[in-house]
Structure 1
């Protein structure tokens, strides 16, 4: 089984997946957690140079999705974490969401430019990643998790419920369109 954990940069994907193993153990699902490897796809992109170019305006690397798909091929029982994770085969897709204002603040605090933080906040308000994930995988595979004002441990517990099948699919519950007005 492959589980994708995706969302706009700054929604808490990396932090939550780093805490996921302990949450699975707390849920008495030690057998499940032992079989899953967490793949931080952005690290793979960097370490394996799986990008086509560097976008100077956005100060980011342009991922080579075909090369990343080839790298992931044959890797099962994984949790793939990245804002790109929904572009690849997955049995379940957890889409982490966050209100645009705190999202923008998080991104600025970690050193992103104002332009990049604003672009990501707008993307979050427009449901860009959620819409892409639903289009790619269908509503029955999507598990939307609002991380706004939630601790990383609470988000990791929600992810554990997705992994163990103790949570129903959901999409469209978080509504941040008011940010755009």
Structure 2
């Protein structure tokens, strides 16, 4: 039997790494943080100075991910990263969790993390416009995808929800958030589109 390959994706600062690390402990799984992995494996080919982010060799990252999955045998593999849909093939992933967070909450977390204004507003726009969900839908079979609103939730609660979904005790859904509608209703939409 081959282990499961569980992708945790979402906008930067949504809580992917915290959730993925705890989930990997609960499942005694192999854990791969894509950014740390790309740096450690010398798969970074440049830096996007304007965005303050690394540019990775996606083909090489994808090939190495396949090797890790194959060598894991029966162990589960947890893959954490916002660009996971670009490097973890559909045929490899068994479950894909797209974490979502209320943009007002996310903005506070990004400021606390020291994001530049440009990066902060770009990532908030991505969250509001469902970019990570759309990326997942373009890369994976719909039945593999679970969208989870993690707003205001403790990491233990989020991991419990993921475990329930993996075990089939919780139905996976998409379209669980409408940040655009929420912000528009509150009259705050213009505040969040400053790119």
TM-score, L = length of structure 2: 0.81
**SS of residue paired to 1:38:** strand
Contact 2:47 2:54 in 1 (8 A): yes
The residue aligned with 2:154 is 151
The residue aligned with 2:83 is 84
CA RMSD of aligned residues (A): 1.6
Mapping for residues 15-54 of structure 1, pairs under 5 Å: 15-21=18-24, 24=26, 33-34=27-28, 36-54=29-47
Unmatched tracts of structure 1, length 5 or more: 25-32
Mapping for residues 48-67 of structure 1, pairs under 5 Å: 48-67=41-60
Partners of 1:56 and 1:138 in 2: CA distance: 34
1:109 shift after superposition: 0.3
Partners of 1:100 and 1:114 in 2: CA distance: 14
**SS of residue paired to 1:95:** strand
Contact 1:93 1:141 in 2 (8 A): yes
The residue aligned with 2:141 is 138
The residue aligned with 1:122 is 125
For these two proteins, the number of residue pairs brought into alignment is: 171
Contact 2:24 2:30 in 1 (8 A): no
TM-score, L = length of structure 1: 0.87
- Structure number with the bigger relative contact order (C-alpha 8 A, sep ≥ 6) is 1
Partners of 1:98 and 1:125 in 2: CA distance: 9
The residue aligned with 1:166 is 169
Unmatched tracts of structure 2, length 5 or more: 70-75, 184-188, 191-195
1:86 shift after superposition: 2.3
**SS of residue paired to 2:54:** strand
Distance 1:48 1:75, change over 3 A: closer
The residue aligned with 1:5 is 8
Mapping for residues 106-117 of structure 1, pairs under 5 Å: 106-117=109-120
Structure (1 or 2) with the larger CA radius of gyration: 2
